[in-house]
Amino acid sequence: MSAAPVEVVPMLPAAWVDRIFAKLTVRYGTAFRARYAGVEEQMLHADWAEQLAWFRRHPDAIAYALNNLPDDRAPTVAEFRRLCNQAPQPVAALLSNSQTRKPPPPEVAEKLKAFQNRITSRGAA
Protein backbone atom coordinates (compact mmCIF):
# COMPACT_ATOMS: atom_id res chain seq x y z
CA MET A 1 0.00 0.00 0.00
CA SER A 2 1.51 3.33 -1.03
CA ALA A 3 1.13 6.46 1.01
CA ALA A 4 -0.78 9.43 -0.32
CA PRO A 5 1.50 11.95 -1.99
CA VAL A 6 2.60 14.79 0.24
CA GLU A 7 2.20 18.24 -1.26
CA VAL A 8 5.29 20.37 -0.83
CA VAL A 9 4.34 24.02 -0.50
CA PRO A 10 7.07 26.53 -1.32
CA MET A 11 8.08 28.83 1.48
CA LEU A 12 6.54 32.26 1.73
CA PRO A 13 8.53 34.68 -0.45
CA ALA A 14 11.19 36.63 1.42
CA ALA A 15 9.64 39.93 0.32
CA TRP A 16 6.37 38.93 2.00
CA VAL A 17 8.14 38.09 5.26
CA ASP A 18 9.98 41.42 5.05
CA ARG A 19 6.65 43.24 4.73
CA ILE A 20 5.15 41.32 7.66
CA PHE A 21 8.17 42.16 9.81
CA ALA A 22 8.02 45.81 8.75
CA LYS A 23 4.37 46.02 9.81
CA LEU A 24 5.06 44.28 13.12
CA THR A 25 8.06 46.55 13.77
CA VAL A 26 6.02 49.68 13.08
CA ARG A 27 3.14 48.45 15.24
CA TYR A 28 5.12 47.10 18.20
CA GLY A 29 8.48 48.87 17.87
CA THR A 30 11.41 47.59 19.84
CA ALA A 31 9.22 45.14 21.75
CA PHE A 32 8.86 43.04 18.60
CA ARG A 33 12.57 43.07 17.83
CA ALA A 34 13.51 42.47 21.49
CA ARG A 35 11.49 39.24 21.51
CA TYR A 36 14.00 37.79 19.04
CA ALA A 37 17.18 39.32 20.44
CA GLY A 38 20.11 37.02 19.79
CA VAL A 39 18.37 35.16 16.96
CA GLU A 40 20.01 35.55 13.58
CA GLU A 41 17.76 37.64 11.32
CA GLN A 42 18.07 35.28 8.36
CA MET A 43 17.10 32.26 10.48
CA LEU A 44 14.15 34.15 11.96
CA HIS A 45 12.85 35.14 8.53
CA ALA A 46 13.33 31.60 7.23
CA ASP A 47 11.31 30.18 10.12
CA TRP A 48 8.42 32.58 9.49
CA ALA A 49 8.60 31.83 5.74
CA GLU A 50 8.35 28.11 6.46
CA GLN A 51 5.64 28.39 9.11
CA LEU A 52 3.47 30.62 6.89
CA ALA A 53 4.17 28.76 3.61
CA TRP A 54 0.56 27.57 3.18
CA PHE A 55 -0.63 31.18 3.06
CA ARG A 56 1.38 31.78 -0.12
CA ARG A 57 -1.81 30.65 -1.86
CA HIS A 58 -3.95 32.77 0.46
CA PRO A 59 -2.41 36.24 0.73
CA ASP A 60 -5.82 37.57 1.78
CA ALA A 61 -5.40 35.61 5.03
CA ILE A 62 -2.08 37.34 5.69
CA ALA A 63 -3.71 40.71 5.01
CA TYR A 64 -6.50 39.77 7.45
CA ALA A 65 -3.95 38.92 10.13
CA LEU A 66 -2.06 42.18 9.62
CA ASN A 67 -5.34 44.11 9.87
CA ASN A 68 -6.35 42.29 13.06
CA LEU A 69 -3.17 42.31 15.12
CA PRO A 70 -3.56 42.24 18.90
CA ASP A 71 -3.22 45.60 20.63
CA ASP A 72 -1.22 44.47 23.63
CA ARG A 73 1.77 42.58 22.21
CA ALA A 74 3.37 41.30 19.03
CA PRO A 75 2.28 37.81 17.99
CA THR A 76 4.66 34.89 17.72
CA VAL A 77 4.69 33.07 14.38
CA ALA A 78 2.23 30.50 15.81
CA GLU A 79 -0.12 33.28 16.96
CA PHE A 80 0.19 35.04 13.60
CA ARG A 81 -0.63 31.76 11.82
CA ARG A 82 -3.75 31.39 13.99
CA LEU A 83 -4.79 34.93 13.01
CA CYS A 84 -4.36 33.98 9.35
CA ASN A 85 -6.50 30.88 9.89
CA GLN A 86 -9.29 33.08 11.28
CA ALA A 87 -9.61 34.96 7.98
CA PRO A 88 -13.02 34.64 6.36
CA GLN A 89 -13.14 32.62 3.19
CA PRO A 90 -13.00 34.88 0.11
CA VAL A 91 -16.24 35.36 -1.83
CA ALA A 92 -14.64 33.91 -4.96
CA ALA A 93 -13.84 30.68 -3.11
CA LEU A 94 -17.37 30.46 -1.79
CA LEU A 95 -18.74 30.89 -5.30
CA SER A 96 -16.36 28.31 -6.77
CA ASN A 97 -17.44 25.77 -4.15
CA SER A 98 -21.01 26.05 -5.40
CA GLN A 99 -20.31 23.46 -8.16
CA THR A 100 -20.22 20.72 -5.52
CA ARG A 101 -23.65 21.62 -4.20
CA LYS A 102 -27.12 21.18 -5.57
CA PRO A 103 -27.91 24.03 -8.01
CA PRO A 104 -30.04 26.81 -6.54
CA PRO A 105 -33.63 27.37 -7.65
CA PRO A 106 -33.86 29.54 -10.81
CA GLU A 107 -34.94 32.70 -8.96
CA VAL A 108 -32.00 32.39 -6.57
CA ALA A 109 -29.63 31.68 -9.46
CA GLU A 110 -30.77 34.90 -11.19
CA LYS A 111 -30.15 36.95 -8.03
CA LEU A 112 -26.74 35.34 -7.55
CA LYS A 113 -25.78 36.08 -11.16
CA ALA A 114 -26.88 39.73 -10.74
CA PHE A 115 -24.83 39.96 -7.54
CA GLN A 116 -21.76 38.48 -9.25
CA ASN A 117 -22.14 40.97 -12.11
CA ARG A 118 -22.29 43.88 -9.65
CA ILE A 119 -19.15 42.71 -7.87
CA THR A 120 -17.32 42.23 -11.19
CA SER A 121 -18.35 45.66 -12.47
CA ARG A 122 -17.21 47.33 -9.22
CA GLY A 123 -13.81 45.67 -9.52
CA ALA A 124 -13.44 47.02 -13.05
CA ALA A 125 -14.15 50.59 -11.96
Please state the length of the chain. 125
Q: What pLDDT, in 10s, does the model give residues 43-98?
A: 999 999 999 999 999 999 999 999 999 999 999 999 999 999 999 986 555 555 55
More confident residue, 117 or 7: 117
Q: What pTM, to 2 d.p., does this model score?
A: 0.66
Q: What pLDDT, in 10s, does the model give residues 1-51?
A: 566 666 666 899 999 999 999 999 999 998 998 999 999 999 999 999 999
